[in-house]
């Protein structure tokens, strides 16, 4: 159980678990500078969404931070055990990896869109340096 404003994991932490949100909301954030307190929200995940796919994809470090934006209940899947199960049971492992790949692809598209909006905002605020 996560309380509101509690971090599940931070960007760059070793990824050891995959999470399924049962209730609540979690924002995925990435840092903007060198301080972890300077971050922006990429997206918000809710009931039924997966978090922490990096636990089953090398190099096993979380790419974003996960912060509860409401009281949140999660199911935690140990990454090493899940990988072992998937290797031994490819009929189950393959659909799991397909789902994880779809989540990763969507988050990558969201990340690019967020970066573009930040670049446009910076250009509007500060000009192009000329």
* Chain segment 87-111, per-residue pLDDT in tens: 999 999 999 899 888 888 888 888 8
Please give the structure tokens belonging to residue 8. 């599940």
Q: Which long-range contacts (CB under 8 A, 24 or more apart) does 32-36 make?
A: 32/118, 36/10, 36/11, 36/65
Confidence (pLDDT) at 116: 84
Question: What is the DSSP secondary structure assignment for residue 36, as one 8-state letter?
Answer: T
39, pLDDT greater than 80: yes
- Say how far apart CA 83 and CA 87 lie, in whole Å: 6
The more confidently predicted of residues 9 and 121 is: 9
The CATH homologous superfamily for domain 7-126 is: Jelly Rolls (2.60.120.10)
Sheet of strand 7-9: strand arrangement: 7-9, 65-68, 25-31, 39-46
Share of residues in the chain with pLDDT > 70 (%): 92
124, pLDDT greater than 90: no
Cβ proximity of 51 and 65 under 8 Å: no
- What's the whole-number mean pLDDT along residues 15-38? 89
The more confidently predicted of residues 125 and 4 is: 4
- Say how far apart CA 106 and CA 108 lie, in whole Å: 5
38, pLDDT greater than 70: yes
Pairing of strands 7-9, 50-51: unpaired
Measured between alpha carbons, how far apart are the two ends of the chain, in Å?
A: 51
């Amino acid at each position: 159980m996560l309380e509101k404003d509690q971090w599940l994991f931070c960007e760059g932490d070793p990824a050891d678990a995959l999470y399924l949100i049962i209730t609540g909301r979690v924002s995925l954030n990435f840092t903007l500078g060198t301080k972890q307190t300077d971050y922006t929200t990429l997206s918000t995940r809710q009931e039924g969404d997966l978090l922490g796919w990096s636990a089953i994809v090398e190099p096993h470090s979380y790419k974003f931070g996960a912060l509860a934006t409401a009281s949140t209940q999660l199911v935690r899947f140990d990454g090493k055990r899940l990988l072992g199960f998937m290797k031994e049971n490819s009929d189950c492992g393959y659909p799991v990896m397909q789902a994880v790949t779809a989540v990763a692809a969507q988050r990558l598209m969201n990340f690019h869109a967020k970066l573009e909006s930040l670049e446009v905002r910076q250009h509007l605020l500060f000009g192009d340096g000329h």
